[in-house]
Amino acid sequence: MLACCKLGITYVSIEPSTPSKRLIAVLEQLGCNHLLLLGQPTD
């Protein structure tokens, strides 16, 4: 899973076991507007 940030595209490696709340917290901390889920079904 990769997190794509709007400014200076940043990719963040995320373990499959990462809780959704932690994932959201990381995205908010990085100021990400877009989330790309590769190889994972969206739910």
Q: Is residue 21 part of a domain?
A: yes
Looking at residue 7, its pLDDT comes to: 47
Can you give the pLDDT at residue 1? 44
User: The domain containing residue 27 runs over which residues?
Assistant: 2-36
Tell me the mean pLDDT in the region 5-20: 60
Query: Considering the domain boundaries, does residue 32 fall inside one?
Result: yes
Contact 30, 5 (CB under 8 A): yes
Mapping DSSP to helix (H, G, I), strand (E, B) and coil, where does residue 17 land? coil
- pLDDT greater at residue 43 or residue 35: 35
The answer to whether residue 17 is domain-embedded is: yes
pTM: predicted TM-score of the whole model, two decimal places: 0.34
Residue 22 has pLDDT above 70, yes or no: yes
Tell whether 29 is covered by a domain.
yes
- Is residue 43 a part of any domain in this protein? no
Give how many domains the chain has, as a whole number.
Answer: 1
Mean pLDDT (the chain) is 61
42 is a domain residue: no
